[in-house]
Structure 1
Amino acid sequence: MQITQAHSSGENAAASSRPLVVRLHRDDDVVIAREQLIGGTRLPEENIAVSGLIPPGHKVATRAIAQDQPVKRYGQIIGFASRAIEPGEHVHIHNLAMGEFDRDYAFCADARPTPRADTPATFDGIVRADGRIATRNYIGILTSVNCSATVARAIADHFRRDTHPESLAAYPNVDGVVALTHGVGCAVDPEGEGLALLQRTLGGYAVHPNFAGVLVIGLGCETNQIARMLETQGLTEAPSLRTFNIQETGGTAKTIAHGIEIVEGMLAAANRVERQPVPASHLVVGLQCGGSDGYSGISGNPALGAAVDLLVANGGTAILSETPEIYGAEHLLTRRAVSREVGEKLVARIHWWEDYCARNRAAMNNNPSAGNKAGGLTTVLEKSLGGIAKAGNSNLVEVYEYAERVDAKGLVFMDTPGYDPISATGQVAGGANLICFTTGRGSAYGCAPTPSLKIATNDALWNRQQEDIDLNCGPILSCEKSIEQMGAELFQLMLDAASGKRTRSEIHGYGQNEFVPWQIGAIT
């Protein structure tokens, strides 16, 4: 990546030295505006003048591009010219479109030995009796069906520190009691994929290390019977995993009282924890990007990728996800697969999504969103190429389906939708004990019981919404810091958050409403 200097007639000497655009690869047909560019601005190193207004984060053509010709960014195809494009023109939805092209999967071609840290990093974690490592210490209330959501919320509300401070006053080591409710669980095929996904998700949360205790509440007549869910997930009731149904308990008021009583019985044991230094190899970090912009693939995502490489070097695990948002860039991951089998698993998930979209009369290019496009992203190909930068340069060691338990060390992939709450819910169900979430447009997101760090891609977002952001990667764009420097800062921030430092989303109370299991299949 290089920063290209730009000049505009009449500018003073100080202003003329400002870096105005970013070139990401020598073969690119576009450069990225670092700030708004006006018509007539000269880009001497590109030997062009800007034509018209170019918003921040948007693309400028550096050469003439004929209609139907491919357009490259990151040295890769991001789309095809829908009409002839002149040098200096704004390249966006009005002249760039999706198109089909062959990808060379070149399985394992770029896989390399994984470097190891000279001095392994540590964080202050919570060691459970069975050896699992937690980054937080919650009691969770899960629901088998939407019908039990209201009582679950009422039970959790009884233990809110802001409204009922006395309820947890004697338990300072308990981070809170959270209700994770959802809108499904009935009127589905009892043997279908949709129910299996929901049960796998709930099962993953039920055994998540960040929960000291879990209560599961059902209605009683739903398709998603609690006993069957426990059976399919290999779970049994225990002092730290309790269940009951509203119909058996006798109604709403009795259910809420009974739930409060059960949670109160879990608190003393939950409070008997102490943090202690543990290796960073116990970190399982879910990678997310939401509200992406034209800078995401230049600053925030590459910085997160650099932090991921440090995490992997320390023996930890990073989960890349959002399959529709690696579409068109998956060949860059298959090249890093440790085996052809792993690479083929990823390609199989891509094909599943192509079929899934076709069955539902949708298109993979439904993504980017309106906000993504306003921020400079034009096609899903462009978004995907920036998105995989979150994965750094580490080998791809395994591919998982949604909410499957992640047991491999290193960089892995989990098949999820691109919608952040659904994607992160799957990652946490798989065992993620930390989420890192980059954003260029802005985000207000949390993910109980797992802390979520939010990373801004640019100074403007940081200045506007820093109460919700944990780290600003804008200094990469202004050349004040390198990607490697920001990656090292982010890795330390990961260790701090895993050690108990509250993230911005935790301070604001986010996390319960963002539990969104993937709903798939017919509802009858």
Structure 2
Amino acid sequence: MSHIESIATGTSVLLMADGDDVAVALRDLTPGEIVPVGGGDLTITAAVPSGHKIALNDVAVGTPVHKYGQSIGVATAPIVRGDHVHSHNLGMDLAARVHEFGTVHTELEAPSGPSRTFDGYRRANGRAGTRNYIAILTTVNCSGTTAKLIVDKAKAEIKARFPHVDGILALTHQSGCGLVLESEGAQILLRTLNGYARHPNISGVLVLSLGCEMASTSLILAEGNLPEDTLVETLSIQENGGMRASVASGVEAVLRMAETLDSRRREPIDISELVLGLNCGGSDGYSGITANPALGWASDVLVAEGAASVLAETPEVYGAEHLLTARATSRAIGQKLLDRIDWWEKYIAINGGTMDNNPSPGNKAGGITTILEKSLGAVAKAGHADLSAVYEYAEPITQRGLSFMDTPGYDPVSVTGLVAGGATVVVFTTGRGSVFGCKPTPSIKVGTNTELFTRQGDDIDINAGRIADGTATVEEVGSEILELIIEVASGRQTTSEEFDVGQEEFVPWHIGAVT
């Protein structure tokens, strides 16, 4: 698979790999234009929007079409050199892929010089946090409104009186009762709530229950393995005399915690203790060219330094999973990824869909046609490191190096799983423009194209579109991402934090029966 390191200024059409049947338009192209590509000239025969694909070869119906050196689909209508290639003439390639295990290994080299550090919070269990939050963890949807009222009443006072507390958030959700507790769905919910309770970025937890639900306080805390320095209080609305009394008691509880937690201070911690979550949302035709490869570069540096980096979104590696199994450090790890792919194929089929239901309308407007094309661009976030582990949703991340977590492609649900697993910084790439955040973990947003950054720059931390513009290389933007990861881990606010985004984006994956 090709990895473009730099693009010459003024390039109009970009060939991703030798032998590809399509190239990518780096600006809007009009019929009759003649543009250089692949050592020759190409006459444009149809309007091609920026980020979309242009045919380099004639392709017969039913024949695979290649981009990144891989099939991204088959022609559903005759394609002629110079044509716009998209949903009107390209469809899903259902041919089976060949999966190898451990056949690709890249020796990553850590940068020379002394090891880098960030200023973080050392927790009692030895883990390293990047934020100092108080969380109200709700056991059930029925306690969600009460939790938000507590936050509304306590938030301003905490901000005014306790500057070393990063904030308070209400982690509310749509479940917690009517569950079959032994079911996969219930176990996912409990694992997610456990993961947030013990997260190194959360120093104080108020577990707020209604009092009669299935997901009880004891179940949430029993296997949480919370650090000894996590302050924990519990409150039952029914036992406390109702909603009004519980809001008053809840405010008192979080203010008590804030007074203690305000004494905690950051200290230098090696960057090998960071846990980086990799996610993308609102992808476009530039994602696999600019932001994702640049993030992959930063991920490789962190992995080389001994940190953990976690790729996710199983439906968005579908069709590119063979590139990851080849990098697996054992057959068992590669097979675990394939087992999750198999689960998804069955799960989607039971619900009347196909894996190619993803890409979204926004992805398609940005130039992505099939899930194969989207996935090939998405896996670039994982750089070149070996795949050292595969986790189920919200499972604790214990392995350093590059790993994978099974999550849906829906951004809030995916990142909720990564944070529950222990991600302490998230980098989120976007081509269409996301306003995403994920408290208590800071989320750095990287835009894939300059037009987006110009239009929506208040929501984007880094413009990777400069790679396509020819004004920066993948390594230069990757280095910028790395430096911002370290600064954000040390306390610098991201754009989403400046807007106070991230509480509503706590969305545990909800599957299974509700009784």
Alignment TM class, shorter chain as reference: over 0.9
Please state whether the residue corresponding to 1:169 is helix, strand or coil: helix
Q: How does 1:370-409 map to 2 (within 5 A)?
A: 370-409=361-400
CA shift, 1:104, in A, is 1.9
CA distance change for structure 1 residues 431 and 126 in 2, over 3 Å: closer, same or farther? same
Report the Cα distance in structure 2 between the residues aligned to 1:419 and 1:447, rounded to whole angstroms: 13
Q: Is 1:43–1:49's contact at 8 Å kept on the other side of the alignment?
A: yes
Q: How does 1:91-102 map to 2 (within 5 A)?
A: 91-102=85-96
Query: Paired residue for 2:109?
Result: 115
Query: Paired residue for 2:18?
Result: 26
Please state whether the residue corresponding to 1:476 is helix, strand or coil: helix
Query: Paired residue for 1:306?
Result: 297
* Structure 1 position 416 matched with structure 2 position 407: yes
* Corresponding residue pairs, total: 509
RMSD of equivalent CA atoms: 1.6
* Structure 1 position 128 matched with structure 2 position 120: no
Query: Paired residue for 1:105?
Result: 99
Query: Paired residue for 1:155?
Result: 150
CA shift, 1:170, in A, is 2.6
Q: How does 1:307-386 map to 2 (within 5 A)?
A: 307-386=298-377
Report the Cα distance in structure 2 between the residues aligned to 1:443 and 1:21, rounded to whole angstroms: 26
Report the Cα distance in structure 1 between the residues aligned to 2:252 and 2:230, rounded to whole angstroms: 13
Please state whether the residue corresponding to 1:333 is helix, strand or coil: helix
CA shift, 1:113, in A, is 3.6
CA shift, 1:233, in A, is 4.0
Query: Paired residue for 1:432?
Result: 423
* Structure 1 position 290 matched with structure 2 position 290: no
CA distance change for structure 1 residues 239 and 292 in 2, over 3 Å: closer, same or farther? closer
Report the Cα distance in structure 1 between the residues aligned to 2:330 and 2:204, rounded to whole angstroms: 39
CA shift, 1:272, in A, is 1.3
Report the Cα distance in structure 2 between the residues aligned to 1:395 and 1:167, rounded to whole angstroms: 43
Q: Is 2:7–2:473's contact at 8 Å kept on the other side of the alignment?
A: no
Q: How does 1:439-518 map to 2 (within 5 A)?
A: 439-518=430-509
Query: Paired residue for 2:53?
Result: 59
CA shift, 1:230, in A, is 2.4
Report the Cα distance in structure 1 between the residues aligned to 2:11 and 2:111, rounded to whole angstroms: 35
CA shift, 1:411, in A, is 0.6
CA shift, 1:361, in A, is 1.4
User: Match of 1:42, as an amino acid?
Assistant: I
Query: Paired residue for 1:146?
Result: 141
Report the Cα distance in structure 2 between the residues aligned to 1:237 and 1:146, rounded to whole angstroms: 28
CA distance change for structure 1 residues 133 and 232 in 2, over 3 Å: closer, same or farther? closer
CA distance change for structure 1 residues 52 and 133 in 2, over 3 Å: closer, same or farther? same
CA shift, 1:268, in A, is 2.0
| CA shift digits 1:388-429 (9 cap, x unpaired) | 000001110000000000010011000000000000000000
Q: Is 2:46–2:83's contact at 8 Å kept on the other side of the alignment?
A: yes
Query: Paired residue for 1:14?
Result: none
CA shift, 1:3, in A, is 8.0
User: Match of 1:105, as an amino acid?
Assistant: H
Report the Cα distance in structure 2 between the residues aligned to 1:130 and 1:234, rounded to whole angstroms: 9
Please state whether the residue corresponding to 1:139 is helix, strand or coil: strand
Q: Is 2:327–2:387's contact at 8 Å kept on the other side of the alignment?
A: yes
Report the Cα distance in structure 1 between the residues aligned to 2:381 and 2:422, rounded to whole angstroms: 19
Percentage of identical aligned residues: 50
From 78, 82, 90, give the equivalent of 1:84: 78
Q: How does 1:205-244 map to 2 (within 5 A)?
A: 205-233=196-224, 240-244=231-235
| CA shift digits 1:165-223 (9 cap, x unpaired) | x4442311001111110111111212211111000000000000111101111111112
CA shift, 1:118, in A, is 2.7
CA shift, 1:29, in A, is 0.4
CA shift, 1:347, in A, is 0.7
Q: TM-score, normalised by structure 1?
A: 0.95
User: Match of 2:45, as an amino acid?
Assistant: S
Query: Paired residue for 1:38?
Result: 30
Unpaired stretches in structure 1, ≥5 consecutive residues: 6-16
Please state whether the residue corresponding to 2:87 is helix, strand or coil: coil
User: Match of 1:519, as an amino acid?
Assistant: H
Report the Cα distance in structure 2 between the residues aligned to 1:60 and 1:452, rounded to whole angstroms: 34
User: Match of 2:84, as an amino acid?
Assistant: H
Q: Is 2:109–2:301's contact at 8 Å kept on the other side of the alignment?
A: no
Q: Is 1:230–1:236's contact at 8 Å kept on the other side of the alignment?
A: no
Q: Is 1:3–1:19's contact at 8 Å kept on the other side of the alignment?
A: no
User: Match of 1:67, as an amino acid?
Assistant: V
CA shift, 1:485, in A, is 1.1
CA shift, 1:319, in A, is 0.8
User: Match of 1:496, as an amino acid?
Assistant: E
Q: Is 1:4–1:43's contact at 8 Å kept on the other side of the alignment?
A: no
Report the Cα distance in structure 2 between the residues aligned to 1:220 and 1:405, rounded to whole angstroms: 28
CA shift, 1:474, in A, is 1.1
Report the Cα distance in structure 2 between the residues aligned to 1:229 and 1:306, rounded to whole angstroms: 37
Query: Paired residue for 2:264?
Result: 273
Q: Is 2:158–2:258's contact at 8 Å kept on the other side of the alignment?
A: no
| CA shift digits 1:52-91 (9 cap, x unpaired) | 2100000000010000000000000100000110000000
CA shift, 1:375, in A, is 0.2
CA shift, 1:258, in A, is 1.0
User: Match of 2:240, as an amino acid?
Assistant: T
CA distance change for structure 1 residues 282 and 3 in 2, over 3 Å: closer, same or farther? closer
Q: Is 2:7–2:467's contact at 8 Å kept on the other side of the alignment?
A: no
CA distance change for structure 1 residues 236 and 211 in 2, over 3 Å: closer, same or farther? closer
